[in-house]
Each structure stands twice: as structure tokens, then as C-alpha cells.
């Protein structure tokens, strides 16, 4: 069995518990996916599968990709991602479907996606610099300040925090709790926010370092007291 699936972010909502506790949740259309290629330890050096997200209609692809899908015997898909296999699990065959049923309510998952691009930003927004004084004739408000000494080493060292392009990079959010699994509509509801704007593609995988889910414990009566 694979440990992940491709999904598409739908938006955010709220989920209420029976006692009225509210949870912010992200709705993800998870799958259905189809196995396009299987990677083996003998041929590729590792075990994984390449999944394709099945959407409304087959995608338009070039001749090389068309041959790749023809070999697998599945219609072309617009999005492909590679996911690993669960430890000790049997590898699915090419053409098999992967659905949201691989996840259970209460399970912890990691979400991998590309965050929103924010363009060129200064050091205060990009690196949370404090900035200078805003009064008393200060001419130093949002500037980065000194970026290095002039005498030695007479250059800007690598890794200096400065203004630049912010966001738009691959981001992973760990240990989100699955609140609901809707198999009929291929929907997953996970607690909290995930990278990207609505309609962005993400990979949902079983948490690598899953946190233990706390269970409420009933206090035991002390000895000698009824």
C-alpha cells in the first residue's frame, strides 16, 4: 500500500465536535489517483510508485509522455507525483487506483505543496527584523542595517539575511489531524491550514514523525475514600 495520495486544495471550513469545540479545517479533494509507474529496488534502487491524479478529462501531453502512459495502459493525467510505499507493504500494480480510503479519521498526515508567492519583500516582512525608530527624526525605519565590515572580510558573507523574493517554494506542514474522510466525494478534511491557494495541488502522506494523540484519562479514586 502507498503512504500518500495527490490532492487539490478546495478551501477552508469549520468542523464542530459534539461538545461544541470548533476546529478550523482545510477541505482537500484527494484522488482518485492511478498508478502510472512502479519503481523497484532492483531496477531503480528504491521502492516507490508514480501516481497520476485523475480529473475531468484526459490531459494533452507530448509524444514522450503519451508513450509513458500508453505503456502503463492508463489515460494521460495533468499532474504526476511520486510517493513511497509503506514499510513491508505489497506494491500496487500499474493501473491500480489509489483512493482517500488509505487514511483514517484521527490519523496524522503531512501535507506537501507550494506556498503562495509574495514577490520581493524587505527584511522586516521576510525575516521579521524589528526595524529602527519611527520618531525623533530617525532616518532609519525599515532598512536592513549593516551587511558586513569594510576592512575584513571586505565582502558580504554567504547567507546574509536581506530583502528578496519571498514565498513560492515547496513547503511541508507536519502532523495535521484528519478530521473527516468522505469516500463518496473523495474529500479529506484536515485540521489547520495547508500550503498554497485554493485549487493548488498538494501531496497528502502519512506523517513521518507522527505525534501521539492524547486520550483523556479518568482519574482513579484514591484509597480510603469513597
Percent of the chain with pLDDT over 70: 92
Q: Kindly report, residue by residue over 15-67, the tens digit of the pLDDT.
A: 898 888 899 999 999 878 888 888 888 888 888 888 888 888 878 888 888 88
pLDDT at 5 over 70: yes
Element (H, E) at 64: helix 63-72
pLDDT of residue 12: 92
pLDDT of residue 20: 86
Q: Kindly report, residue by residue over 204-220, the tens digit of the pLDDT.
A: 998 888 766 555 455 56
Q: Kindly report, residue by residue over 71-126, the tens digit of the pLDDT.
A: 888 888 888 898 888 776 677 788 888 888 888 888 999 999 999 999 999 999 99
d(CA 33, CA 99): 6
Residue matched to cell numbers 489509489: 98
- What lies within 8 Å, CB to CB, of 172 at 6+ separation is 110, 111, 112, 195
pLDDT of residue 172: 92
The structural domains of the chain, with segments of one domain joined by +, span 118-167
Q: Kindly report, residue by residue over 158-178, the tens digit of the pLDDT.
A: 999 999 999 999 999 999 999
The arithmetic mean of pLDDT across residues 9-15, rounded, is 91
d(CA 24, CA 192): 5
pLDDT of residue 221: 61
pLDDT of residue 143: 92
- What lies within 8 Å, CB to CB, of 127 at 6+ separation is 161
Amino acid at each position: 500500500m502507498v503512504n500518500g495520495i495527490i490532492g487539490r486544495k478546495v478551501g477552508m471550513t469549520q468542523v464542530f465536535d459534539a461538545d461544541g469545540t470548533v476546529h478550523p479545517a482545510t477541505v482537500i479533494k484527494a484522488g482518485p489517483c492511478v498508478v502510472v509507474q512502479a519503481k523497484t529496488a532492483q531496477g531503480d534502487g528504491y521502492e516507490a510508485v508514480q501516481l497520476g491524479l485523475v480529473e475531468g478529462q484526459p490531459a494533452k501531453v507530448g509524444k514522450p509522455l503519451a508513450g509513458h502512459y500508453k505503456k502503463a495502459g492508463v489515460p494521460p493525467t495533468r499532474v504526476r507525483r511520486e510517493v513511497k510505499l509503506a514499510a513491508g507493504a505489497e506494491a500496487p500494480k500499474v493501473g491500480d487506483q489509489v483512493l482517500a480510503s488509505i487514511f483514517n479519521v484521527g490519523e496524522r498526515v503531512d501535507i506537501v505543496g507550494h506556498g503562495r508567492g509574495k514577490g520581493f519583500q524587505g527584511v522586516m516582512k521576510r525575516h521579521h527584523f524589528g526595524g529602527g525608530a519611527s520618531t525623533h527624526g530617525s532616518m532609519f525605519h525599515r532598512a536592513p542595517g549593516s551587511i558586513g565590515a569594510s576592512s575584513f572580510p571586505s565582502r558580504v558573507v554567504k547567507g546574509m539575511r536581506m530583502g528578496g523574493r519571498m514565498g513560492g517554494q515547496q513547503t511541508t506542514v507536519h502532523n495535521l489531524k484528519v478530521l473527516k474522510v468522505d469516500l463518496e466525494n473523495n474529500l479529506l478534511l484536515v485540521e489547520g491550514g495547508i500550503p498554497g491557494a485554493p485549487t493548488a495541488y498538494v501531496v497528502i502522506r502519512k506523517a513521518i514523525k507522527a505525534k501521539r494523540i492524547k486520550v483523556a484519562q479518568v482519574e482513579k479514586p484514591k484509597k480510603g475514600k469513597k
